[in-house]
Structure 1
Amino acid sequence: MKPFDLNIRHLRAVAAVVDTGSISAAARVVNLTQPAITQGIAKLERQICLPLFERRPGGMVPTAAAELLAPRVMAAIRLMDSRHATAAQVSAFLALARCGSYAAAAVETGLSEPSLHRAVGDLSLAVGHILVERRGKGVALTPRGIGVARRFRLGEAELRSALFELALLEGREVGRITVGAMPLSRARLLPAAVTAFHALHSEISVGIVEGSHAELVGPLRDGEIDLMVGALRPKSTDDSIIQTPLFEDRPVILARAGHPLADLGGPITPEAMTAYPWITPAEGTPLRAQWQAMFAGAGAVAPSVPIECGSVIMVRQMLLHSDFLTLLSPDQVAVELEAGWLVKVADAPGDVSRTIGVTTRADWRPTALQRRFLGVLKEQAEIIAAAP
C-alpha cells in the first residue's frame, strides 16, 4: 500500500477523534459529518487491516494502531501545510515532479494524461499558486512548486513510516531504510552496519544512495533518504539538520609502493611534503581543509594542487602509476594497503582528523526499525573506534 492510497481527510478525522475522544467533537474540527467520519474510519480500518477504535459508551477509545497513526498523520498534515489537497492530487503532482512530463507520469501512475492535468490543475487552485510551467516538451516546477513538492514529500515520508509501524504492530517486519552514503562511510562502517542489520532483520530492505554531502543533503531534507553517514560538517546555523558524531577518523599520507618516500620510516618533513605533487578533493570539502591544516601544522606553505579528485577509485589508479601523494583514511584503501599496492608514507602532521557521524533531519521521527538500524550503526562505529 502506498501512503497516498489513504484518504487525507479520513486520516485527519482519525487524528481528531484521538485528540477529542468522540466523533461528534471531531466532526466540528475537520468539518465532516459524523456519518462521513464513521464511514471514513471503517474504510481506513479495512485498508490497514487493524481496528483503530473501541466503541464504548463514554466515547471512542483509540487502539494501539490509532495511537501510532495519529501523531504521524498530524506531522504529515503540518508538513504538507495544505488542508484542501486530496491524496489523488498530491500523488499526481509528485509523480509529475519525479518524471518531468505528463506522458512519463501517466506511464508511472497508470492514469491518463487528462486525469493528471486535471489533478495538478485542481491542486494549483487548492494551494493558490501555479506549480508547474511548460519547458519545451516537458514541464518544470515553478519556485513555489518546488517548495510544495518538498513539503508533500516530507508528508509522504511520515505516512510511509506510519504504514511500516502499523505492519510491525501486526508482527510483520516490512519497509525500507534509505541511507545516504558519503565517501568515508562506504569502505567499512556502512557495509558492516548493513550486513549486521540484515542478519537481524532480513525482511527490511536497505537502499544505499552514494554521493557527496552537497548531493545528498537536498534529498535528506526532502525525505527521500532517511539519514546520511559520513564526515560531518562544521557546525552551522542550519537548524533543519542534526549531526550526531560516531568516531574520529585520522587520514594518513599515502603513495604507491616503491615511491621515493615509501621507506621514510618516521615523521615527514616539510621539504618532503612539497617535493611531490598532490591529489586532493576540491576546495570546500572537509578533507581539503584537513590537507591545508596538515601543512600549517608542519610549518609549511601548502603547494598548488594539480589534480582535484574526490573519487577514491580514480585517486588509487593515479597513485599506482605516478609519484603523486594523497591524504586519505586507511579504511578507504584497506584492500590496496593489504595487497601492498599502496603504502602509508607517514601520519599527517598536526591535529588532522575528521568526525564521522550521522546526519538526519531535525524533525525526523525514526520508526522502531530505523532506530534499530541507528543502534547497529553505533555498535559498528564503536568496533571501528576501538580497533588499533
Structure 2
Amino acid sequence: MMESLNLRHLRSVVAITRLGSISAAATHVNISQPAITQGLSKLEAQLGIALFHRLPEGMQPTEAAAVLTPRIERALDHIGSPLVTMAQMRALLTLAEGGSYARASAITGLSQPALHRALADLAIVLRRPLVERRGKGIAFTHGGRRTVRAFRLARAELRAGLAEIETLKGREVDRIAVGAMPLSRARVLPEAVAAFHLAHPEARILISEGAFIDLIEPLRDGDLDVIVGALRDPAPGEDVEQQPLFLDRPAIIGRKDHPLASGVASLAQLAEYPWIASPTGTPLHSRWRAMFERAGLALPRVPIECGSVIAIRQILATSDFLAMLSPDQVGLELSTGLLGIIAEVPAELSRTIGITMRSGWRPTMVQAAFLEQLRLASGAIDASRTT
C-alpha cells in the first residue's frame, strides 16, 4: 500500500492535524481546499479508517491520525523536500536495491526511460546529482548515497505508521527486522521469538544473521529495526544507541577428553595449545587478548580465526584446539559431554549483551512487545545462572 500513497496527501494530514482546519492547512501547504478535501477522502479510503472527525468548529484528529501524524512528520523530515513524489522515492530505492536500471525496471514494471526521467527530476528537485555512470554500470554519488539512506528511513517510518493503523483496526500485520549476532542466536533470541509468536501470531519476524560490521549499516538504513548481541564499547556513533540486556561470562571450551580437561588448568598451560579466536575487532577477541596480556603472557598461537560457532564446535570436538565462547553457544554439546569447560575466565572479562537501535527510533506497539519479550528472556537467563 505504501507505494500508492501520495506524499502531498500525507503532508496535508500533518497540516490539518496541527492547524485544525482544512482552510488553514490549504494555505500552509499551498493546495486548494477542494484538492485537500478530495485527497483526504482518498487517503482515508486507502487506509480504511477515518483520520478526522468533521466538527462545526474544525477538524479533530481521530486516534488513527494521532498515531499516523508523527510517523508522517518523521518521514517528511527524512525526505527533506516538499517537491519529492512517492514515484521518485520509489524509483531511487528500487535502483539502489536492484543495482541497475534493468533490474529496477523489472521490479517496478516501469520502463527504463521512465525511471531515468524520475531520477533526473529528483536530482533537479534536490539540487544534487544522485547517480553517475561507471563504465557499463552505475554508481551513486555521495549525495545519492545519503539520499538513499534518508528515503529508506522515511519508508521505515511510513511502514510503521501503516502497521499501527492496522493494529487499531484489529489486525496485526506489523513486522520487526532483527539483526542477530552469534551469541543472541544461541538462547535469548530463540526464546524471545517463540514467546512473542505465541502472543502475536500474525506479526512477522525477519531475522538476519551476521557479525556487527555486517548488520550496523542495514540498521542505519532502516532495513533492520534492532541488532541483538554483544554491545560495543565505545558505542558505534551518536546515530545509534545501546540498551543492555544481561551480562555474559565466557569460558574456555575444549573437547571433553582434552589433555587439560582433567585438572585446573593455569593460563600458562592454556597458552601452550592452539586456539580458535573470534575475528579481530569483536568484543570477544578483545577479551581473549586481555586475558593473556593482563597476566603478562604472550598470546598463544591462533591458526584459526573464525566467527562461525557451528564450525568452531566441530573443530573443538575433534582436536586439541581451545576457544573462548559463551557456554550458551555450546549448551547442547556441554550437556551431552561432547565438549567441556576447560577453565573459567575472570569475571571482569564478562561482556554485555543487549540491543542496538537507531537513536530516536520509535517502535510500534507490536515491536515494543517484542522488545519486552527480549527483556523477559534475558531476565530468565540471568535467573537461571544464579540458581
TM-score exceeds 0.5: yes
SS of alignment partner, residue 275 of structure 1: coil
Q: Is the 8 A contact 1:298 1:350 kept in 2?
A: no
Deviation string, structure 1 residues 258-288 (Cα, Å, up to 9, x no partner): 1101112x3x313212111111012211001
Structure 2 residue aligned with 1:302, among 282, 299, 302? 299
Tell which deviates more after alignment, 203-212 or 113-122. Answer: 113-122
Distance in 1, matches of 2:289 and 2:262, equals 24
Q: What's the CA shift for 1:31?
A: 1.2
How many corresponding residue pairs?
A: 385
Deviation string, structure 1 residues 178-229 (Cα, Å, up to 9, x no partner): 1000111001110111111001111011000011111111010110010010
What is the aligned partner in structure 2 of residue 196 from structure 1? 195
Q: What's the CA shift for 1:340?
A: 1.6
Q: What's the CA shift for 1:349?
A: 3.5
Distance in 1, matches of 2:249 and 2:255, equals 19
1:67-86, aligned counterparts within 5 Å?
67-86=66-85
Letter in 2 for 1:109: T
SS of alignment partner, residue 387 of structure 1: helix
Deviation string, structure 1 residues 326-384 (Cα, Å, up to 9, x no partner): 10001111111122211110101352111000011002110000000000110000001
What is the aligned partner in structure 2 of residue 145 from structure 1? 144
What is the aligned partner in structure 2 of residue 205 from structure 1? 204
1:101-116, aligned counterparts within 5 Å?
101-116=100-115
Q: Percent identity?
A: 52
Give TM-score, length-normalised by structure 2: 0.97
SS of alignment partner, residue 386 of structure 1: helix
Q: What's the CA shift for 1:113?
A: 1.4
Structure 1 residue aligned with 2:320, among 318, 323, 326? 323
SS of alignment partner, residue 349 of structure 2: coil
Q: Is the 8 A contact 2:249 2:347 kept in 1?
A: no
| Cα distance, 1:237–1:105 mapped onto 2, change above 3 Å | closer
What is the aligned partner in structure 2 of residue 39 from structure 1? 38
What is the aligned partner in structure 2 of residue 376 from structure 1? 373
Q: What's the CA shift for 1:35?
A: 1.1
Q: What's the CA shift for 1:235?
A: 2.8
What is the aligned partner in structure 2 of residue 159 from structure 1? 158
| Cα distance, 1:350–1:368 mapped onto 2, change above 3 Å | closer
Say whether residues 1:353 and 2:350 are aligned partners: yes
Distance in 1, matches of 2:317 and 2:381, equals 27
Q: Is the 8 A contact 1:294 1:350 kept in 2?
A: no
Q: Is the 8 A contact 1:94 1:149 kept in 2?
A: yes
Letter in 1 for 2:181: M
Tell which deviates more after alignment, 294-303 or 120-129. Answer: 294-303
Tell which deviates more after alignment, 370-379 or 51-60. Answer: 51-60
SS of alignment partner, residue 271 of structure 2: helix
Distance in 1, matches of 2:142 and 2:210, equals 25
Gaps of 5+ in 1: none
> What do you get for the CA RMSD once the two structures are aligned?
1.3
Distance in 1, matches of 2:299 and 2:29, equals 64
Letter in 1 for 2:152: R
Say whether residues 1:289 and 2:250 are aligned partners: no
Letter in 1 for 2:228: V
Give TM-score, length-normalised by structure 1: 0.96
What is the aligned partner in structure 1 of residue 270 from structure 2? 273
Distance in 1, matches of 2:378 and 2:95, equals 40
Distance in 1, matches of 2:53 and 2:272, equals 77
Distance in 1, matches of 2:342 and 2:295, equals 15
Q: Is the 8 A contact 2:273 2:301 kept in 1?
A: no
| Cα distance, 1:109–1:247 mapped onto 2, change above 3 Å | same
SS of alignment partner, residue 50 of structure 1: coil
Distance in 2, matches of 1:223 and 1:84, equals 23
Letter in 1 for 2:288: W
Distance in 2, matches of 1:221 and 1:349, equals 34
Q: What's the CA shift for 1:296?
A: 3.6
Distance in 1, matches of 2:174 and 2:59, equals 30
Distance in 1, matches of 2:294 and 2:201, equals 47
Q: Is the 8 A contact 2:235 2:242 kept in 1?
A: no
1:129-140, aligned counterparts within 5 Å?
129-140=128-139
SS of alignment partner, residue 254 of structure 2: strand
Deviation string, structure 1 residues 31-72 (Cα, Å, up to 9, x no partner): 111111111101101100111111111111111111111111
Tell which deviates more after alignment, 53-62 or 223-232. Answer: 53-62
What is the aligned partner in structure 1 of residue 93 from structure 2? 94
